[in-house]
């Protein structure tokens, strides 16, 4: 549903991405259902939604960790699926990922410096780091950049705190000079005071090293802080997209409105004290993906749903300034 970056060629362009998984009984679970998005050069784009909405699967499909059932993913104008083996390896270098759980994504038996060194060895010719010494000095350089210092290089993951481990995860991803970083819930396992350090680090490095970032998170306030543009996903579909300022100030889709009103927020909470709550409480839970919902995917929980929502799937409404909303009543 993305149209915003059509003026300039986007770094990453995903269109009509569908990812299905086979489940028992020869059925297919559609985890991602026609997602289109773009990430421009140096842009930080947020992808938010509740668990099970398909945001992580979208990220995994972009880096090729899960195969896309249909749809196209273009990076820098080239289709990722179609390339030669050499081109695909170049893509590995250009698109890197930071995972949610740094303990689970680092080898517990490998010193963290070696984990970074290994990726440099794999991509040594593409990076021009053919000698061991060159790679070692790159490891030192990148550890310094993420605020760890060289004395962390020989340590093992269990010797590090959660925040330090996530810095290693970021160092490993950025060591090969990617142009796009997919960050999948990079701070949700961390305490608030550490969370800010990692967010600031990612923000600063994206400026300094000029890479783009697809930032996947469930915490709306974190996305608000980090991202230039935000996409909201529900049941495998993008339901609203806008630049963050607009989306958080005047959300158009009822799901985004409910999501924003559900987030506990210090300012909102203090302002509402002693008053009747005007929070939108959604009925029920996210329906199972095995029983597809007719019409608008949100209609069973939507406070504003009418008969039409049940039968007719809404089109994308363009509200101007790149604000897109997938609801019959958006205008």
Partner 1 sequence: MEHGKILNEKPQTRNPELGTRNRPPLIDVQGLSVGFRNGRDEVVVVRDVSFRIREGETVALVGESGCGKSVTALTLARLLPEPPAFHPTGVIFFRGREVLQMSSAELRAIRGGQIAYVFQDPATALNPVFRIGFQIEEAVRAHRHHVDSRQEALRLLALVGLSDAEACLRAYPHELSGGMQQRIVIAVALACRPKLLIADEPTTALDVTIQAQILDLLKRLQNELGMAVLLITHNLGLVADVAHRLNVIYAGSVVESGAVEDVLTAPAHPYTKALLGVVPRLGSTSERMQGIKGMVPSPSNRPAGCPFAPRCPRVDDACRRTMPSTQTAGGVDHQVRCCHPLKEKS
> Which residue, 69 or 188, has its beta carbon nearer to partner 1?
188
> Which residue, 71 or 287, has its beta carbon nearer to partner 1?
287
Q: Cβ 223 to partner 1, closest distance in Å?
A: 9
Q: Cβ 132 to partner 1, closest distance in Å?
A: 34
Note the Cα 160 to chain centre separation in Å: 25
> Which residue, 89 or 218, has its beta carbon nearer to partner 1?
218
Note the Cα 153 to chain centre separation in Å: 28
Other C-beta atoms lying within 10 Å of the C-beta of residue 279: 12
Q: What SS3 state is found at 180?
A: strand
Q: Cβ 25 to partner 1, closest distance in Å?
A: 17
Q: Cβ 271 to partner 1, closest distance in Å?
A: 9
Cα three-residue angle 326-184-106, rounded to 5 degrees: 165
Tell me the C-alpha distance between 218 and 188, whole Å: 8
Copy the structure tokens of residue 176.
């090969």
Other C-beta atoms lying within 10 Å of the C-beta of residue 25: 7
> Which residue, 248 or 329, has its beta carbon nearer to partner 1?
248
Other C-beta atoms lying within 10 Å of the C-beta of residue 298: 26
Tell me the C-alpha distance between 44 and 65, whole Å: 21
Helices (H), the chain: 55-63, 85-94, 102-105, 112-122, 124-127, 132-145, 162-174, 192-208, 220-226, 244-249, 254-262, 266-271, 307-311
> Which residue, 68 or 145, has its beta carbon nearer to partner 1?
145
Q: Cβ 264 to partner 1, closest distance in Å?
A: 3
Q: Cβ 114 to partner 1, closest distance in Å?
A: 24
Residues that bind partner 1 (CB under 8 A): 50-51, 161, 163, 191-197, 199-200, 218-222, 224-225, 245, 248, 258-270, 272-274, 277, 279, 281-282, 285-286
> Which residue, 18 or 262, has its beta carbon nearer to partner 1?
262
> Which residue, 221 or 305, has its beta carbon nearer to partner 1?
221
Tell me the C-alpha distance between 304 and 312, whole Å: 15
Q: Cβ 225 to partner 1, closest distance in Å?
A: 5
């Amino acid at each position: 549903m993305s149209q915003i970056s059509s003026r300039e060629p986007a770094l990453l362009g995903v269109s009509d991405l569908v990812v299905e998984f086979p489940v028992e009984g020869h059925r297919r679970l559609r985890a991602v259902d026609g997602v289109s998005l773009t990430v421009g050069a140096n842009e930080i784009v947020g992808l938010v939604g509740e668990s099970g909405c398909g945001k992580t699967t979208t990220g995994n499909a972009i880096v090729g960790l899960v195969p896309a059932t249909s749809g196209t993913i273009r990076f820098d104008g080239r289709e990722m699926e179609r390339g030669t083996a050499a081109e695909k390896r170049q893509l590995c270098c250009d698109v890197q990922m930071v995972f949610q759980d740094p303990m689970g994504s680092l080898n517990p038996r490998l010193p963290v410096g070696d984990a970074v060194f290994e990726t440099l060895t794999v991509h040594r010719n593409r990076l021009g780091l053919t000698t061991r010494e060159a790679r070692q000095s790159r490891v030192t350089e990148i550890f310094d950049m993420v605020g760890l210092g060289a004395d962390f290089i020989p340590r093992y993951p269990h010797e590090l705190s959660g925040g330090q481990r996530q810095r290693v995860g970021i160092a490993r991803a950025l060591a090969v000079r990617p142009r796009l970083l997919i960050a999948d819930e990079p701070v949700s396992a961390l305490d608030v005071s550490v969370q800010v350090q990692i967010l600031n680090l990612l923000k600063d490095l994206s400026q300094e090293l000029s890479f783009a970032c697809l930032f996947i998170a469930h915490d709306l306030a974190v996305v608000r802080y980090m991202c230039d543009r935000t996409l909201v996903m529900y049941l495998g579909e993008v339901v609203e997209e806008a630049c963050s300022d607009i989306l958080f100030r005047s959300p158009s889709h009822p799901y985004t409105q409910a999501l924003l009103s559900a987030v506990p927020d210090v300012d909102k909470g203090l302002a509402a004290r002693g008053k009747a709550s005007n929070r939108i409480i959604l009925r029920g839970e996210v329906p199972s993906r095995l029983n597809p919902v007719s019409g608008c995917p949100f209609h069973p929980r939507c406070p504003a749903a009418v008969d039409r929502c049940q039968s007719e799937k809404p089109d994308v409404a363009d509200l101007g300034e790149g604000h897109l909303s997938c609801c019959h009543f958006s205008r």
